[in-house]
Amino acid sequence: MPTRTAREVADYVGGALHGDEKVELHTVGSLERAEPGALAYAEAAYLPRVPATRASCVLVPPGEPPDRTVIVVERPRVAFARAAQWLLDRHRPEPGVHPTAIVARAAQLADDVHVGAWSLVEAGVTIGRGTVIHAGCYVGPGSRIGDDCLLFPRVVLYAATEIGDRVTIHAGVVIGADGFGFVFDGERHLKVPQVGHVAIGSDVEVGANSCIDRGALDETVVDDGVKIDNLCQIAHNVRIGTHATVSSQTGIAGSSTVGERATIGGQVGIADYCRIDPHGIVGAQCGVPSRKRVPAGEVYWGTPARPLRNIKKQQFYLNRLPRMADDVRRLQAEIEELKARLDRDRESAQ
Amino acid sequence: MPTRTAREVADYVGGALHGDEKVELHTVGSLERAEPGALAYAEAAYLPRVPATRASCVLVPPGEPPDRTVIVVERPRVAFARAAQWLLDRHRPEPGVHPTAIVARAAQLADDVHVGAWSLVEAGVTIGRGTVIHAGCYVGPGSRIGDDCLLFPRVVLYAATEIGDRVTIHAGVVIGADGFGFVFDGERHLKVPQVGHVAIGSDVEVGANSCIDRGALDETVVDDGVKIDNLCQIAHNVRIGTHATVSSQTGIAGSSTVGERATIGGQVGIADYCRIDPHGIVGAQCGVPSRKRVPAGEVYWGTPARPLRNIKKQQFYLNRLPRMADDVRRLQAEIEELKARLDRDRESAQ
Amino acid sequence: MPTRTAREVADYVGGALHGDEKVELHTVGSLERAEPGALAYAEAAYLPRVPATRASCVLVPPGEPPDRTVIVVERPRVAFARAAQWLLDRHRPEPGVHPTAIVARAAQLADDVHVGAWSLVEAGVTIGRGTVIHAGCYVGPGSRIGDDCLLFPRVVLYAATEIGDRVTIHAGVVIGADGFGFVFDGERHLKVPQVGHVAIGSDVEVGANSCIDRGALDETVVDDGVKIDNLCQIAHNVRIGTHATVSSQTGIAGSSTVGERATIGGQVGIADYCRIDPHGIVGAQCGVPSRKRVPAGEVYWGTPARPLRNIKKQQFYLNRLPRMADDVRRLQAEIEELKARLDRDRESAQ
């Protein structure tokens, strides 16, 4: 791992250094557990923990800097992410095809590709420079993988999958399996052909054991910069726009679209033919019914999905229900009393 | 791929041909993206798109046929599914056991079985004619697989799994893992024996990364024609009836039964000992509580699951809650006014 | 498999034998499907089925024992679990490294470890006595696995994973993949470093295709005795306390803690920075919002999660809503009538 001085890191992230500019940094850590030699970071709320850390340097937000080696930056977490990418070289295995791997003769691999043990690269595949395919992966016929991608062990790409550059795919992911398309002919479910494919852009990350189905006839599309968490289900013909994020265990059903920069929480269910507009936000466990649209920049929540403010209003009234029931009961009593009083008045008037 | 004329396809699906009966078809496509040589289809709502398609022939519903080569059928999507199965020959690898695969001597493989690279077929296994086992599968001891099955890469069948004919199992599926059965003895969870197995009928399809656990003592059963989507969880001793469908990320807990032709939506949770009767429908994200029964042909939704009409009624009243709260407030005011009026009347009467 | 007499089993579980103490038992079964030679059990509700069983011996609760060979115990299911562990020897493959497996020279394996076909054990790994690693597993660099563990086929452990003794990990599990940590820098999502690891205690079981992510900077911890079902998602920096159980398809987001002996139902979503206190119970499909605490021993349910009694109260009022709407309408009518009556009275008084 490379070693950098606090001064070099400060220059790299564009921050103001206070303290010992020569202290050497070669790793990263949390305030609580970092060892000397590590860079840590502290958002404003965690500044009181800075004095006790063993980290050699801490990224902190503007304000009175603590009396130790710190780098003052506008957004400590962003600077930390950038510095960490620079400080930490993720171990990449040596280029080359492992002797136990099988690469079809009709596949084209750039010179410095790594193909791990017992990985199978089928005919017609092309793999770009610097891409690492770990052990036990399957790359189906006609697939294309770009430069500097990283496939962890046991990834399965069905035929004709397209993947851009700098894409990370975690272990157990399945891309390009058949969509769930059947039509009942009166006696049994006939399979509707699932002969499209999956096209994934660049700078995408797909979490462990997630599934992205091939298009039925056309494409399933995951655009540049999209991040998908573990155990997600992306169905046939879905389109996910640039830099959208999809949290764990979420499912997006057939032909739905998720706009750029949209944020989809965990365990969300988006039914088929929905449209989440750009910058839309769908809260955790939300259920978006078929053909529903979430407008740009709105926050939706609940099942069935509604604007968050509506949900909050409903919660407010729900919480007041017991009191309202009491009010109604009291009103009934008061009306009875009024009636009795009128009866008495009438009687006494007669 | 075989090539058929429009006339041959019309005869095969039992439709009425209009236009050029000799046009050759060798693939399928969507109206929007099909190339010449492709068969497409259009439901009534999409007929306006037919003139612009590049597809050579389109399956259309009854009515005034567009002025191009079309085949008129009652149900275009059904006819399309049937024709596609006939037109498209899914690539099947050559029969034979790959040199890197390991097949136990005590296993019985029909002559034209394919076993892919690094697949392990344990002792006592039998595999029927025409079945294809892709790379990296594990077939546990004593398992039986019927004819013409298709196991995609990295499927795991634990010991004694039974699979019928024409079953498709997608990548990453795990069948026969232990059910989640423990009993707390006061100090720790003891494992309740999970020594049953899984029995799957014919014409079943199981989606990528789904799990079907073995029975605790007896069987977990998936009947003929059942279709299970990706990332589903079928627990120990569950029984799923013929031609039922289970959408993505649904979980069915121990000992529950799903009747024939039932339709289970996505992300549904069915707790243990439930009973979904034949033709029952359970909507997406529905939560069916322990021991609940969904009657035949009914539609249930919500958590806890109730008949859809009840849910809709509840939604109706929920949406009216703010107005009802206003009504109650106004009634209170009116009663106060009435009381005041009575007081005034009495005063003036005195 | 060993054969034991009913007398031996009675002594082992500390029960009172009635009937033939010499009957031989070599397997277990359900009341309905057991064969002769099997031990079964019956909770009180199932005692009427005991006379018809073919099982050779039945564990039954205290009371008038049926007229056949039975063992009376306080808790039949617990005794059954204990006896089954003793009677049934799960088949363990022979010690040794399969010729197709690859074990790095710098890995340390105890003498009687089994490493199955096409499993890859990277440098710096240590594996304890009696541990079985089935076919196609990947054990990342620097991982430590204790004694008597069982890894089913296709388990993936990323680098530096720590696993205690007697841990069972089912097929398709991925441990140590990167957590879902990104920060948006205004243009794109930067990866926040995910360089921690996963530490799993002893006597843990992890269900098929579940995922446990590595800590971002520190650890993700699964303590002794924890049982995790299939298709669960445990995010970075989560801590799960001893003997907690997590049912299928549940997701626990970053930095949340689950206390010892807590019970988490199926399809539960626990957002980030939550705290489930010891012995807390979270019902199926419950959604616990970010930073929420579930107090020790409480039962929470619903989305957003609330105490079960509150949910039940709310359900009660929800179910009464239609009647309440009727009441309000009737009150309105009665007030109108009162007003009219007052008007009439006034008129007649004038």
Mean pLDDT along residues B29-56: 95
The helix or strand, by DSSP H or E, that contains position B84, with its residue range, turns out to be helix B76-87
Rounded to a whole number of angstroms, the distance between the first and last alpha carbons of chain B is 104
Radius of gyration of chain C (CA): 29
Tell me the sheet residues that pair with C133. Answer: C115, C151
Nearest by CB to residue B324, choosing from C170, C284, C328, is C328
Question: What pLDDT is attached to residue B350?
Answer: 67
CB C270 within 8 A of CB C264: yes
SS3 of residue B241 by DSSP: coil
Q: Are the beta carbons of B119 and B136 closer than 8 angstroms?
A: yes
pLDDT tier at B179, thresholds 50, 70, 90 = very high
Chain-chain contact of B195 with C28 (C-beta, under 8 angstroms): yes
Q: pLDDT, tens digit, for every residue of A226-249? A: 999 999 999 999 999 999 999 999
Residue A342 binned pLDDT confidence (cut-offs 50, 70, 90) = confident
Whether pLDDT at A349 is above 80: no
Q: Least CB-CB distance to A183: which of B78, B170, B230?
A: B78
What tokens appear for B295 in the block? 């009657």
Give the pLDDT score at B298: 96
Pick from B27, B75, B153: CB nearest A156: B153
Give percent of chain A above pLDDT 70. 99
Banded pLDDT at A1 (limits 50, 70, 90)? low
Contact between C261 and C241 under an 8 Å Cβ cutoff? The reply is: yes
How many Å apart are CA A148 and CA A133, to the nearest integer?
Answer: 10
Q: What is the chain B residue with the closest CA to C250?
A: B251
A86-90, A238-242, B39-43 — which is least confidently predicted?
A: A86-90
What value does the mean pLDDT take over residues A24-50?
Answer: 95
DSSP for residue B179: P
- The 10s digit of each residue's pLDDT in A159-176 is 999 999 999 999 999 999
List the subunits that have 3+ CB pairs under 8 angstroms with B: A, C
State residue B5's pLDDT score.
Answer: 96
pLDDT per residue over B294-324, tens digit each? 999 999 999 999 999 999 999 899 999 999 9
Checking if the pLDDT of A347 tops 90, the result is: no
Pairing of strands B24-25, B4-5: antiparallel
Determine the Cα–Cα distance for residues B285 and B267; give it in Å rounded to an integer: 5
Is residue A85 helix, strand or coil?
helix
Helix (H) or strand (E) holding C151: strand C150-151
pLDDT in tens, B321-339: 999 999 999 999 998 888 8
pLDDT (average), residues A56-70: 94
List CB contacts (< 8 A) between B287 and chain C.
267, 284-285
Chains A and C: how many Cβ contacts under 8 Å? 186
- Predicted pLDDT of residue C350: 67
Q: Which residues of C are catalytic?
A: 236
Q: Which residues of chain C have pLDDT under 70?
A: 1, 350
Please state the pTM of the whole predicted model: 0.96
Query: Which pLDDT does position A350 carry in this prediction?
Result: 67
Give me the pLDDT at residue B1, please. 59
Residue closest to A193 by CA, chosen among B72, B29, B13, B37: B29
Residue A2: pLDDT above 80? no
Q: How far is C260 from chain A (nearest CA, A)?
A: 23
Point out the catalytic residue in the list B98, B114, B134, B236. B236
- The answer, yes or no, to whether ipTM is higher than 0.90 is yes
